[in-house]
Amino acid sequence: MPFSKIPTTAREIFFNCVGNAYFMHLNGVYDIYAAFQVPEETEMVWRREMLTGILDQLPAETNCEKLSRAVQNYCTILGDCHFAGALPQILQCVLAAAPKMDTFTMLRVTEVIFAYLEKMPYCEEFCTCCDLARRLVTALEDNAREGISVSPDYVHGEPIPEHLQAQQIQKRWKKDRKRWRMVLLRQKGALWWRLLQFRA
């Protein structure tokens, strides 16, 4: 979404665009940011600051739309620069917040997490994250067992968008399941990789 007011400092641009060059281009501020010539070391500090801020925000966040966007922003930051141990942290936060989520929010955050897992290489952290992701899928299934729910936080007027209707959410989830299954199957390969590393 374009800014209502163009940011004027490098830090402001970086934080508003979660450190992502594509979002900077989308908002027409990439050239402004590039002119600041921010050192990579400074960008790394800012990314860590944003990640910490999101982890601090999530436990108290009551707006489900903002919660799901925060998880998406977190994974966008990791996609640009992976920090060891950061993904398990957000997974644990999401699992802790699961009881207050509606079905649609849980589906959105699960999609974001698995999209990141799809790109992760075999490693100890990948196996840990897959274990946590399995618990997230189970929590989503338990939530939906009581009926598909959508938080009013997503409804900004009438009529209710088609993608928020129960039938569309079910279709989306059914399609997602196949991708998630493939990611979790990769964990078996990762476990073999870990065994080979141990033997070596």
**Whole-number Å distance between alpha carbons of 19 and 68:** 18
Domain assignments of the chain as residue spans, ordered by start: 39-199
The mean per-residue pLDDT over the stretch 120-124 comes to 82
Tokens 């002119």 -> residue = 35
CA distance 150 to 169: 10
CB atoms within 10 A of CB 3: 13
Per-residue pLDDT at 6: 56
Q: What is the pLDDT of residue 1?
A: 46
For the cut 90, the answer to whether the pLDDT of residue 160 exceeds it is no
Mean pLDDT (whole number) for 1-20: 78
pTM score, whole prediction: 0.87
Q: What is the pLDDT of residues 29-47, one digit of tens each?
A: 999 999 999 999 999 999 9
168-178 confidence digits (pLDDT tens): 999 999 999 99
Q: Which of 136, 123, 121 is nearest to 177 (CA)?
A: 136
Q: What is the pLDDT of residues 91-103, one digit of tens each?
A: 999 999 999 999 9
**Ranges 17-26, 32-41, 120-129, 183-192: which has the least confidence:** 183-192
Per-residue pLDDT, 53: 97
Q: Which amino acid is at 77?
A: I
Q: pLDDT by residue (tens digit) across 59-87? A: 999 999 999 999 999 999 999 888 989 99
Average pLDDT of the segment spanning 153-158: 89
Q: What per-residue confidence (pLDDT) applies to 185?
A: 86
